Amino acid sequence: MSSTFLHGGNVFANGIRQHYLRYGPGAGSAGERSTRPAIVLIPGITSPAITWGFVGEVLGSRFDTFILDVRGRGLSSASDTLDYSLDAQADDIAAFVSALDLDAFSLLGHSMGARIAARAAGRIERGLRSVVLVDPPASGPGRRPYPSQLPWYVDSIALARKGMDAQAMSQFCPTWTFEQRQLRAEWLHTCDERAVLASFKGFHEDDFFADAARLNVPSLLVTAERGDVVRPEDVDELQGATPSMLHTRVPDAGHMIPWDNEAGFYAALGDFLGAPVSLRKPA
């Protein structure tokens, strides 16, 4: 199976260095690709861009795809004084798509990334065609807490900073494959603990439901069958506020949907982004 990885890159946007990985079809498909919106993929709270590379490989077969390192993760800017608020992260997205001069694009965010996408949508002046919200934390002011516990993140990051391998990572991600755990063990140390603490706090203080209700482009909510991140009543509330919002629940998957059921994740996207994608068979 040939790779769709094109290159990594950095742009200076919203006052910081933003690192991304780019995937896309080969030169023979350039014309077809240009008729579809690009995809800007925003990962979750402790997921550097490279950990979503396997998804980028598949999306890249049909779309020009950019996977971001959110500030404080991966190779993007991080510091003891950097603003790690949701507002700053949303401004990053608006500045990123402007810096790359993307004419037409969709935002696809997972978990924290979905909350960033929902807020960023209201700050993007042109080019945004649709938004995909993948298992966004339904916590917030006056709502139930996010089901994952903070020590799960903090303790694993602390071990990663010292150095850990796939075996050590198994205590945190016991259902993941060896390759998935090894990649996380390699890159988790790049997640700034301040960034994670700020984002986790934001899960309980930022009003995602208000951001989602203000979406004025087509939207798709993708949720996991297992876990307690998005409950059926949350889906009802989100669709009640935005009746045009579509919803698909992925079977046999927990919060890290593509890790648990990759084929089901692509099936859930359908042709919402402009063309269907699926797992490719080796050549």
Q: Regarding beta strands 128-134 and 105-110, do their DSSP bridges make them parallel or antiparallel, or are they unpaired?
A: parallel
The candidate with the shortest Cα–Cα distance to 8, out of 21, 18, 19, 17, is: 21
Domains and CATH numbers, the chain: 5-140+206-269 (3.40.50.1820)
- What whole-number distance in Å separates Cα of residue 223 and Cα of residue 249? 5
220-to-60, 73, 92, 212 alpha-carbon distances in Å: 20, 26, 22, 11
- What whole-number distance in Å separates Cα of residue 64 and Cα of residue 49? 15
pTM to 2 decimal places:
0.96
pLDDT recorded at residue 278: 92
pLDDT recorded at residue 175: 92
Please list the pLDDT of the chain residue by residue as tens digits (283 residues): 689 999 999 999 999 999 999 999 865 555 555 689 999 999 999 999 999 999 999 999 999 999 999 999 999 999 999 999 999 999 999 999 999 999 999 999 999 999 999 999 999 999 999 999 999 999 999 999 999 999 999 999 999 999 999 999 999 999 999 999 999 999 999 999 999 999 999 999 999 999 999 999 999 999 999 989 999 999 999 999 999 999 999 999 999 999 999 999 999 999 999 999 998 754 4
Asked whether the CA dihedral 89, 265, 9, 100 is positive or negative, the reply is negative
pLDDT recorded at residue 33: 56
